[in-house]
């Protein structure tokens, strides 16, 4: 089957083809081929070179007639011609013909009613291991009856594009072709490009073919009641940290979909940030860094012991592991429709309340806006927190019109009486450089109150600038922390910063979303004169 699949892709390799190898063999191959080394805990540590994060300016979508009117073209979804794609694909095929090849028959989507089959072909054993741990593994029966894949990923990290002759932005290229159902990834060893390309594809297919809402989110659930919570947020806002709650069951840490019947994980593993991780702060993730895991750009000493506080290679150190490495996880990857949704934002201005309640229109507004601060290392060139609006808390991965996703969110929120809260895991007491990050223990206490519903018993005060309702009491959280203005020494400076950020919200909505519904726009922040 594998040989025929490669032949259909035009790949007639002179090397060895290893298909669906188990974890021990992939680990051995990665070490034997000098792709990485074993850490003291048995994980494979790899270095990804100059590309230590996603490279958004090197990503493009092939502009074909069948998707031309669907894609939200712009600076995120950049079009590339079929001719350029054909050239890059032939270059990729020619390269792989001279390499040893690792093939993985994987799936995306734990709910098999909506899952898609992804065939991943790569030249690196460590990337095959990454895919084996991150995507959904077919059962033995599903593997025997795999058939034709729904999408194919061709990854060649050692193949560099040439901007002069290939028409690319750099030596890296990530190209999605929805017509041919092929993804090309070249010139970058950062395996997150594979993960996020699959996510981007699912964010198109599940909407267009199933009317299912994809979400850049983590999900956990109460082991007794089954009540589910969805956490939205960009990398660095705390999705993985807050969803890995020892008192709850982890459904997944990054990519999900919300149907009329359930929420389900797109993946079968986790891809967690490692920077500053300790057994005390992140026990579940820390203990998941063991044999079979893949660590990217983690610093090791001469005894192969990891120093997770060392960011000499990048702030964006990562570990990939199967979800069953988290003790209180659900390998089935499904849960009930959410009773609670939490939007996570890292506010570098230090003015947003640490937690606030949102009605339907306000929730849709915040979902569309996706305000946060990109943190160091998650993308090339980001060295300190940078305020940004990332539509749907996942703009780089959403190919369709944002209003389409937002309307689906509002429909589901209303149908399931889902409570929505905005949680600021960013700065308090002042902006970045003056204030400090919100303490994790306080954020956990706020999230716990939201999940239990006890937050609803508190008095709420309306913040007229940000147009949100702020609770005045949460157990184990100092009252002044709940009201950010109280944490600033200079109240006038707070007011100035708050109005500045509210104005940024308004400008973003006016410039980028002219078709936003009036009632939704009215529910957003408004600066005071």
Burial of 246: CB neighbours in 10 Å, binned 0-12, 13-18, 19+: exposed
Domain borders along the chain are 2-32+55-210, 271-325, 339-522
Phi-psi category of 433—alpha, beta or left, where left has phi over 0 and alpha has psi -120 to 50? left
CA dihedral 320, 321, 327, 328 (to 10 degrees): 60
Q: What is the CATH number of domain 2-32+55-210?
A: 3.40.449.10
CA dihedral 491, 425, 48, 175 (to 10 degrees): -100
- According to the model, what pLDDT value does residue 376 have? 54
User: Of 88, 521, 52, whose CA–CA distance to 295 is shortest?
Assistant: 52
User: Of 121, 182, 133, 129, whose CA–CA distance to 157 is shortest?
Assistant: 121
Q: Angle at the Cα of 122 (from 120 to 125), degrees rounded to 5? A: 110
State the CATH class of domain 339-522.
Answer: alpha beta
Among all residues, which ones are annotated catalytic?
54, 196, 216, 235, 239-240, 254, 318
Residues of the chain with pLDDT under 50: none
Instruction: Find the helix packing angle between 23-32 and 125-134, rounded to 10°.
Output: 150
141 CB neighbour count, 10 Å cutoff = 8
Q: Which residue has the tokens 């109005």?
A: 499
- According to the model, what pLDDT value does residue 289 have? 98
The two most distant CA atoms of the chain are separated, in Å, by 70
Distance separating alpha carbons of residues 368 and 455, to the nearest angstrom: 25
Residue pair 298/306 in contact (Cβ under 8 Å)? The answer is: yes
State the CATH class of domain 271-325.
Answer: mainly beta
Distance separating alpha carbons of residues 361 and 442, to the nearest angstrom: 27
E-state strands within 48-207: 59-62, 79-80, 101-108, 116-122, 151-156, 173-177, 182-186
Which residues 6+ apart lie within 8 Å of 212 measured at CB?
Answer: 114, 206, 257, 258, 259
Q: Which residues pair with 319 in a beta bridge?
A: 272, 295
Distance separating alpha carbons of residues 235 and 254, to the nearest angstrom: 9
E-state strands within 171-316: 173-177, 182-186, 213-221, 228-232, 249-252, 255-258, 263-265, 269-273, 294-296, 299-300, 306-307
Residues 340, 345, 346, 350, CA torsion sign: negative
User: Of 212, 195, 194, whose CA–CA distance to 203 is shortest?
Assistant: 212
Instruction: Find the helix packing angle between 360-369 and 491-512, rounded to 10°.
Output: 80
User: Of 278, 219, 269, 272, whose CA–CA distance to 249 is shortest?
Assistant: 219
Distance separating alpha carbons of residues 184 and 316, to the nearest angstrom: 23
Structure tokens at 528: 């005071």
């Amino acid at each position: 089957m594998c040989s025929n699949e490669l032949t259909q892709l035009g790949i007639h390799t002179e090397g060895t083809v290893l298909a669906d190898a188990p974890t021990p063999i992939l680990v051995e191959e990665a070490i034997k081929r000098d792709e990485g080394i074993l850490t003291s805990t048995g994980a494979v540590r790899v270095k990804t070179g100059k590309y230590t994060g996603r490279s958004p300016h090197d990503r493009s979508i092939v502009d074909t007639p069948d998707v031309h009117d669907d894609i939200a073209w712009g600076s995120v979804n950049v079009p590339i011609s079929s001719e350029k794609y054909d050239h890059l694909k032939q270059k990729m095929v020619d390269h792989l013909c001279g390499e040893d090849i690792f093939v993985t028959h994987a799936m995306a989507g734990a709910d098999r009613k909506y899952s898609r089959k992804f065939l991943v072909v790569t030249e690196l054993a460590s990337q095959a291991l990454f895919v084996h741990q991150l995507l959904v593994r077919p059962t033995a029966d599903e593997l025997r009856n795999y058939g034709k894949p729904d999408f194919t990923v061709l990854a060649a990290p050692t193949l560099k594009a040439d901007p002069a002759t290939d028409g690319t932005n750099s030596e890296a290229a990530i190209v999605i072709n929805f017509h041919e159902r092929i993804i090309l990834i070249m010139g970058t060893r950062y395996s997150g490009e594979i993960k996020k390309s699959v996510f981007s594809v699912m964010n198109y297919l599940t909407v267009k073919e199933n009317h299912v809402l994809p979400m850049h989110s983590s999900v956990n659930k109460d082991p007794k009641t089954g009540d589910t919570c969805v956490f939205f947020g960009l990398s660095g806002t705390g999705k993985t940290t807050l969803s890995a709650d020892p008192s709850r069951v982890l459904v997944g840490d990054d990519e999900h979909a919300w149907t009329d019947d359930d929420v389900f994980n797109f993946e079968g593993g986790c891809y967690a940030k490692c920077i500053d991780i300790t057994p005390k702060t992140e026990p579940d993730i820390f203990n998941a860094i063991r044999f079979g895991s893949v660590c990217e750009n983690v610093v090791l000493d001469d005894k192969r012991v990891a120093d997770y506080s060392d960011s000499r290679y990048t702030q964006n150190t990562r570990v990939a592991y199967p979800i069953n490495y988290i003790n209180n996880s659900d390998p089935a990857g499904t849960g009930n429709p959410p009773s609670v949704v939490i939007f996570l934002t890292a506010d570098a201005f230090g003015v947003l309340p640490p937690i606030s309640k949102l009605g339907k229109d306000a929730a849709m507004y915040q979902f569309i806006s996706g305000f946060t601060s990109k943190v160091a290392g998650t993308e090339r060139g980001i060295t300190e927190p940078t305020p940004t609006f990332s539509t749907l808390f996942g703009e780089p991965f959403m190919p369709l019109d944002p209003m389409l996703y937002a309307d689906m969110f509002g429909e589901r929120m209303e149908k399931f009486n889902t409570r929505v809260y905005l949680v600021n895991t960013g700065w308090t007491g002042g902006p970045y450089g003056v204030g400090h990050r919100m303490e994790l223990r306080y954020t956990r206490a706020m999230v716990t109150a939201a999940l239990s519903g006890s937050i609803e018993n508190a008095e709420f005060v309306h913040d007229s600038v940000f147009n949100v309702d702020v609770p005045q009491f949460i157990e184990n959280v100092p009252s002044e922390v709940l009201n950010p203005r109280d944490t600033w020494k200079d109240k006038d400076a707070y007011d100035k910063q708050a109005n500045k950020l509210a104005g940024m919200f308004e400008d973003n909505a006016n410039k980028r979303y002219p078709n936003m519904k009036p009632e939704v726009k009215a529910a957003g922040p408004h600066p005071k004169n």
